[in-house]
Amino acid sequence: MFYPVIGAISNGIRGGQLWRWLGFIRNHLPASVQKKHGKRLDKFIGWVRDYTPHDAVNALIFAACVYGITHDKVIAAVAFALMWLGASPGWGEYIGAIINRKKGKAPEVPIIDMAIEPLTGTLWGVAGLTLRGLFWGLMLAVPFIFNQQFIAAILFAVAGSCMGLIYWGVIRIAQKFPALGSGWSASEIVFGAVLWLPLAVAANH
């Protein structure tokens, strides 16, 4: 399952987790290495945190995978642009509603906010993320429509639509295991794996 693993890592990077992973590795290096290179490593990790273009890196990895499947530079370029576009609109208020079980107060995505206005609490957050993920999945489907891989295109829309349920499930599990924090970061990794799963289908058709 190459693509889901890459998707989990790439979406984690998109979410700004790379510097945390590097920090974890740094803190588990031998004491002698930390003593000799600790300051340099801290400086590098800080640079990664502050200057890594997370969305661009994620889109580039996705485009590279698409090129490996389609061998078409134009389709890969479209995939790069649409992955970036799909990841651009916000969703923090929806996740906050799932974590806190309260409807978000700040506007997020206007058209989605209008659609879910009657809902409250956790349901508001899950519904908002579901529609937000659907938009993302539809963006990723476009390159495969161009490539006439319609099953993969449909699966991207389906995978994106799972965003709300995935975040809800992972966050609820995380609330039982404090070591996982709020569950937000873990949700990014799980959702990334699911969102990229249709690439495995595209690679075999």
How many other CB atoms sit within 10 Å of the CB of residue 23? 16
Residues 6+ apart with CB under 8 A from 134: 157, 160, 161, 163
* Predicted confidence (pLDDT) per residue in 71-129, tens digit: 999 999 999 999 999 999 889 999 999 998 887 777 889 999 999 999 988 999 999 99
Residue 17: pLDDT band with limits 50, 70, 90: very high
Average pLDDT value for the chain: 93
Return the pLDDT at 60. Answer: 98
As a whole number of angstroms, the distance between CA 16 and CA 140 comes to 21
Note the residue count of the chain.
Answer: 205
For residue range 154-194, list pLDDT tens digits in order.
Answer: 999 999 999 999 999 999 999 898 877 889 999 999 999 99
* Angstrom distances, CA of residue 68 to CA of 64, 71, 204: 6, 6, 12
Name the residue among 182, 200, 205, 6 with its Cα closest to residue 92.
182
Residue 4 CB coordination number (10 Å): 18
Task: State how far the Cα of 175 lies from the Cα of 119, in Å rounded to an integer.
Answer: 23
Three-state secondary structure call for residue 201? helix
Four-residue CA torsion sign, 13, 16, 20, 23:
positive
Predicted pLDDT of residue 36:
87
Residue located via tokens 């989990």: 8
